[in-house]
Structure 1
Amino acid sequence: MFDPKNLSPRKLSFFTALGLAAPISLIDLAIEHEWKAALISFLVVLIGGYLLISIVLERFIYRKIKVIYKFIYQTKATRRQETYYKYILPKKSLDEVAVDVENWAQENQQKVATLQANEEFRREFLQNLSHEFKTPVFAIQSYVETLLAGDMIDPLLNRKFLEKTAVNVDRLTTLLQDLDEISSLERGEITIVKRNFVIQDLLKETFESISIKAEQKNIHFSIKKGCEAPITVNADKERVRQVVLNLFENAIKYGKTNGSVKAGIYKTDDKRILVEISDDGVGIEEKSLPRIFERFFRTECGRRMDVTGSGLGLAICKHIIEAHQQTIHIRSTENVGTTIGFTLAAKKDWGKDEAAVVNG
């Protein structure tokens, strides 16, 4: 069946030769009035034209397709592959070759988009890293230069400068420790020791450990109604404590005075427990939510309210939860508050003192 949209080189050669043979034989019949001669002329032109056009066309297409496929796959063909390209690929229709090229183009377009996104992320990362280090380093430099100049003879003032220097050194140390930890987490160099423990107990213990910070803003912690019944999870207790501590500190830091922090614990199914920590603080603008777990990312409001943070806390939380093969998410509305939730595995059947070790 004639299909002009899906012609193979041989079919194209045949129909081209037929288009030449038919008018030539008709002209010969009109001049000579001999149908046998016209038939012979038709057959000779058809067969000869088909062979000639087929050979030329297949060689031309093979050469072009060979170049295309070499460009696509960027490989040097072996003799067996050369034979494959020569005798198999020409049997493909041009539409099939076009599909291969389109697929290759789409794949490369995706790679280019990924590379551009990675480059943008790398540029922002370096800018943020420079910014986070620059502030404490310049502060330390100014304090030390002032002390070295010897212009200050007041021991109390000298001590004040040294204390400020020590604060910035501590900030640098914390930043370096966070960087080292998140690098280890990203490389999978973390061991998760899973145990069964009651998540409500951990939440209460963790908030109690930073109660002094909460009291300064008169922020109260509570577990939501209906969530008080003890629920046992199976996870690395100290790593989860690290996540919860970071979320509580953020809730206090960005929470309003006389505000509250609430925790909700829910059984989503037989395998997972959802833990949510909510505050009634400043909230986060919608445009920043997709990036909130990126390294060093902080909202403009966050930078104004906390100049000492590293911007790595939520990124570390994300890696810890993902090392448990679980998920973490965020919901927030400006001037209403923020809720960050994460899932943990439900209680396992082994005894309380037994543990499972998982390499992250």
Structure 2
Amino acid sequence: MPDSTKFKKSFRFAIYTSLYITFYITLLTSVFLYFFYELKWYYVLILAVVTYLFSFGVIQFRVERFIYKRVKKIYDDLTLLESASLTKGAITTDMRTLTQEIDKFARDKKIEIEALKVREQYRKEFLGNVSHELKTPLFTVQGYILTLLDGAMNDENIRTKYLERASKGIERLGYIVNDLDMITKLEVGDLQLNIEIFDIVELVKSVFDMFEMKASKKKISLMFDTGYNRPVMVKADKERIQQVVANLIVNSLKYGREKGTTEVSIENLIKNKVIVRVTDNGEGIEKVHLPRLFERFYRVDKSGSRKEGGSGLGLSIVKHIIEAHDEKIYVESEFGVGSEFSFTLEKAK
């Protein structure tokens, strides 16, 4: 065996086996010699000691060698699987330690396999969703153009209407491509943040103004939880945070109930943090969907139909922008009651 190999000695097997061998050999030998040679008792004792020591040495050495060879083969086989926990340490012949390491290896591999299965399922869902999101506007645009080419372009009213609808389909394709590009840049760190100090209250007011017409169509009230007479200065990328607030407001309008409310509150969280909450009394989200809500194209409604426009990437973009600021985003929702999305920002000194 190599000198660098360290063994955790366990002599129990050799001790008990040597005792059994010594007992039977000494008993048989002493009885035989006593009757024929009248052997003295101290010779029997010497025979027992010598037999025990010889048996112990041979058994311990041979068993250890036997186990080492078998265990080394196991380690060599596991090395091919790149098990860091088993290849970094010295080889052990202790069965308890070996069993623990093998069990740990098996658990780790099981977890790894389960993670791979989840990723594979996510990949399939993602590709299916991308295909669906791109296919719908593409087929829409193609249908309108083919109809125009078949002769409908001669009718001015139909031509104008179909070209406008085709334009909306292309616009939606543009949203999807741009949003996917932004998420990719956020994930790989290529999208640079322009950090500045600004008033988050004024930013929310500007977003309210942007979607005032959209909210009025469903008679949804856009409001603050209280009057903010003083500015709340934060330190972040103003353009990206405006995108975050806009996406959350649009989401609340999309799934809000008619004559409902969308309320924004800005609260001090800790000394250097504020938390911005966007709360609505819309249809809410079932708890089973909450862990996956920020995934790309994840659908709460599995029917595949989309009542409202958009790229289907809004919440995923929100999560990536907030995490790019090293901040946190949270969601709480009760089905049939409403939802609350909240995120933290650094306060300006």
Q: Same fold (TM over 0.5)?
A: yes
The 8 Å contact of residues 133 and 172 in structure 1, kept in 2 or not, is answered as yes
The equivalent of 2:140 in structure 1 is 139
Per the alignment, do residues 278 and 190 of structure 1 end up closer, same or farther by CA in structure 2, a change over 3 Å counting?
Answer: same
1:157-306 equivalences under 5 Å are 157-225=158-226, 229-300=230-301, 304=305, 306=307
Q: Distance in 1 between matches of 2:226 and 2:345?
A: 20
Q: Distance in 1 between matches of 2:145 and 2:280?
A: 40
1:65 aligns with 2:66: no
Letter in 2 for 1:232: M
Size of the alignment, in residue pairs?
Answer: 333
The 8 Å contact of residues 223 and 262 in structure 2, kept in 1 or not, is answered as yes
Letter in 2 for 1:258: K
The equivalent of 1:43 in structure 2 is 49
Deviation at 1:167? 1.1
1:142-177 CA deviation, whole Å, 9 max, x = no partner? 222222333653122122222211111111111111
1:176-196 CA deviation, whole Å, 9 max, x = no partner? 111111111111222222222
Per the alignment, do residues 337 and 303 of structure 1 end up closer, same or farther by CA in structure 2, a change over 3 Å counting?
Answer: farther
254-263 vs 290-299, which moves further: 254-263
1:54 aligns with 2:60: yes
Q: Distance in 2 between matches of 1:305 and 1:74?
A: 49
User: Taking CA–CA contacts closer than 8 Å with sequence separation of 6 or more, which of the two structures ends up with the larger relative contact order?
Assistant: 1
Q: Distance in 1 between matches of 2:228 and 2:342?
A: 14
Q: Distance in 1 between matches of 2:244 and 2:89?
A: 60
The unaligned stretches of length 5 or more in structure 1 are 1-6, 349-360
Q: Distance in 2 between matches of 1:20 and 1:274?
A: 77
Deviation at 1:282? 1.7
The equivalent of 2:15 in structure 1 is 14
Letter in 2 for 1:131: H
Deviation at 1:268? 1.1
Q: Distance in 2 between matches of 1:332 and 1:142?
A: 39
Letter in 1 for 2:73: V
The equivalent of 2:117 in structure 1 is 116
The equivalent of 2:327 in structure 1 is 326
3-state secondary structure, aligned to 1:114: helix
277-286 vs 67-76, which moves further: 67-76
The equivalent of 1:355 in structure 2 is none
Deviation at 1:273? 0.6
Q: Distance in 2 between matches of 1:66 and 1:301?
A: 53
1:286-308 CA deviation, whole Å, 9 max, x = no partner? 22122111110122189656353
The equivalent of 1:353 in structure 2 is none
How high is the TM-score relative to the length of structure 2? Answer: 0.88
The 8 Å contact of residues 240 and 321 in structure 2, kept in 1 or not, is answered as yes
Deviation at 1:72? 3.0
Q: Distance in 2 between matches of 1:231 and 1:45?
A: 90
Per the alignment, do residues 57 and 301 of structure 1 end up closer, same or farther by CA in structure 2, a change over 3 Å counting?
Answer: closer
Q: Distance in 2 between matches of 1:145 and 1:320?
A: 40
Deviation at 1:200? 0.9
3-state secondary structure, aligned to 1:300: coil
Q: Distance in 2 between matches of 1:63 and 1:191?
A: 57
Per the alignment, do residues 170 and 105 of structure 1 end up closer, same or farther by CA in structure 2, a change over 3 Å counting?
Answer: same
Letter in 1 for 2:225: K
The 8 Å contact of residues 182 and 191 in structure 2, kept in 1 or not, is answered as no
99-108 vs 294-303, which moves further: 294-303
CA RMSD, 1 decimal: 2.4
How high is the TM-score relative to the length of structure 1? Answer: 0.85
The 8 Å contact of residues 263 and 276 in structure 1, kept in 2 or not, is answered as yes
Per the alignment, do residues 302 and 293 of structure 1 end up closer, same or farther by CA in structure 2, a change over 3 Å counting?
Answer: farther
The 8 Å contact of residues 330 and 339 in structure 1, kept in 2 or not, is answered as yes
Per the alignment, do residues 293 and 56 of structure 1 end up closer, same or farther by CA in structure 2, a change over 3 Å counting?
Answer: same
Per the alignment, do residues 83 and 295 of structure 1 end up closer, same or farther by CA in structure 2, a change over 3 Å counting?
Answer: closer
155-164 vs 131-140, which moves further: 155-164
Deviation at 1:62? 0.8
Per the alignment, do residues 242 and 82 of structure 1 end up closer, same or farther by CA in structure 2, a change over 3 Å counting?
Answer: closer
Q: Distance in 2 between matches of 1:340 and 1:302?
A: 24
3-state secondary structure, aligned to 2:154: coil
The 8 Å contact of residues 9 and 57 in structure 1, kept in 2 or not, is answered as no
334-343 vs 28-37, which moves further: 28-37
